A and B are shown apart, each in its own frame.
Chain A
Amino acid sequence: MSVKFTEEHEWITVAGGVATVGITTHAAEQLGDVVFVDLPAIGKKVEQGKEAAVVESVKAASEVYAPIDGEIVEVNKSIADEPSLVNSDPEGGAWFMKIKIANPAQLDSMMDRAAYDKFVGK
């Protein structure tokens, strides 16, 4: 299962037509200490590039965009209870939401790891 990345610094993995979505290590570093995560409701329809969640750091609120069209089928309650997980394990345990994919073709234009690393200047 390969991981893909967006220019808005989300990562996405796909299994059985469902995408697991989180924010990248780079994004978490830029945010700083996360103190609150506002997750979408189960069943909510989301659209690629539109706001799906919000992360609040000490300094500011930042939107997390849906990387793909679909419907929210699960959210990660553990990051709502312990927002600092977003800093400590952004590309692992601190996934944000699972989206039942409506338009798989949207995956084709996303970056792979090498392209994303280049995108953020690593």
Chain B
Amino acid sequence: MSETIQRTPLYDAHVALKARMVPFAGYDMPVQYPTGIMTEHTWTREHAGLFDVSHMGQCFIVAESFERAAEAMEALVPADIRGLAPLQQRYSQLLADDGGILDDLMISRSAYPGRLYVVVNAARKEQDYAHIASRLPPDVKLERLDGEGLIALQGPEAEAVLAALNPQVRDIDFMHFKLLDIAGIKDVHVSRSGYTGEDGFELSLSAADVVTLWSILLKDARVKPIGLGARDSLRLEGGLCLYGHDIDETTSPIEAGLVWSIAKHRREQGGYPGFTRIKNELTTGLKRQRVGIKPEGRLPAREGSVIQSAAGREIGKVTSGGFGPTVNGPVAMGYVDKAHAAPGTPLFLVVRDKAIPATVVKLPFVPNRFKR
């Protein structure tokens, strides 16, 4: 791991846009641009927001065939990887032997034969790569894509913006991708996915090309650059987990409410780390689970706030909490014991020694608008 803070290929572009730069996961990243988090958040919900996510870890899993690469990956994650259609992508979790989550990640069946394309969290990439490499059979290799660019264009106008550069983006289904020429840049990996709850795309391309495409996209009046601050408030309203906060090595995918990401045959047959715990949680039930929590009033309850039952007993902690600009009020997520997890259950959140009335709500806070 590097001791010095790293920069993405877009660092100079952020500085030129007068972004406020902060250290995040070992990278100097824009937390917000001069317009501020509130404006950036709302812009993304209404138009198209452009995010630099080049700090995330991109790699290939390489084998003699897709089937062989998929088989090796299925030994590490609970998702159905063998069943990926060409140009399809799935969300999954890298699991520890005890069923805790080492990281969450995106896995695609690459357009290149014998390859999976994988994207992991920036803060976890060194651990992830070491873990994956140590567990792969000798004929399957991990190939890092260090220094490549990755940007996300998210929001209801993202499709129209990108279609102006290549109309074929309209044909990409949710959680699928294509390799397309975008504004003269060859073979851009364009996937229909994101981390805002909105329709949108993630684009992987070389370090030099990402700088070119970033400035081309910003010339479109429908596009504004969006920092990590709004990325966090958007994903929180979207009910999406943030690694290290809502999920970590102590939480299982079942507790986290991610059972939808595990195919039925894999829930029954296992074949991945932590299956014993997952099977138990699926059959005998959960002790605790991740829920959405809506505090009354305007005061945000932040990560770490104690969750109390209506009777005043501590039943969990907030794992993500803040102000939701689209909700126009505070929003939170956290783990509570099973007896208090049903939507409508009254709770208290303790903020600076005050018990704030709150209610368990169904996630997401803002309806997802993925293109289905």
Q: Interface on A for B, CB 8 Å cutoff?
A: 32-33, 35-36, 38, 54, 56-61, 83
Contacts and interface: CB of A to CB of B under 8 A. Distances in A.
B31 A59 contact: yes
Nearest to B34: A29
B325 A56 contact: no
B265 interface: no
Contacts of A60: 302
B300 interface: yes
Contacts of B229: 32, 58-59
A35 B352 contact: no
Given A56-B300, A58-B229, A36 B323 contact: yes
A36 B298 contact: yes
Contacts of B32: 32
A33 B38 contact: yes
Interface in B261-304: 298-300, 302
B38 A36 contact: no
Contacts of A58: 37-38, 41, 229, 233, 322-323, 325
Contacts, number: 41
A57 B302 CA distance: 11
Interface of B: 31-32, 36-38, 41, 229, 232-233, 298-300, 302, 322-323, 325, 330, 352
A56 B297 CA distance: 13
Classify the secondary structure of B's interface with A.
Answer: mixed
A108 B323 CA distance: 39
21 contacts: A32-B36, A32-B37, A32-B38, A33-B36, A33-B37, A35-B298, A36-B299, A36-B323, A36-B330, A38-B299, A56-B299, A56-B300, A56-B323, A57-B37, A57-B323, A58-B38, A58-B233, A58-B322, A59-B31, A59-B229, A59-B232
Contacts of B38: 32-33, 58
Contacts of A56: 299-300, 323
A35 B302 contact: no
A48 to B, nearest CB: 20
Nearest to B228: A59
A52 B300 CA distance: 18
Nearest to B328: A35
A79 to B, nearest CB: 12
A58 B327 CA distance: 12
B90 to A, nearest CB: 31
Contacts of B323: 35-36, 56-58
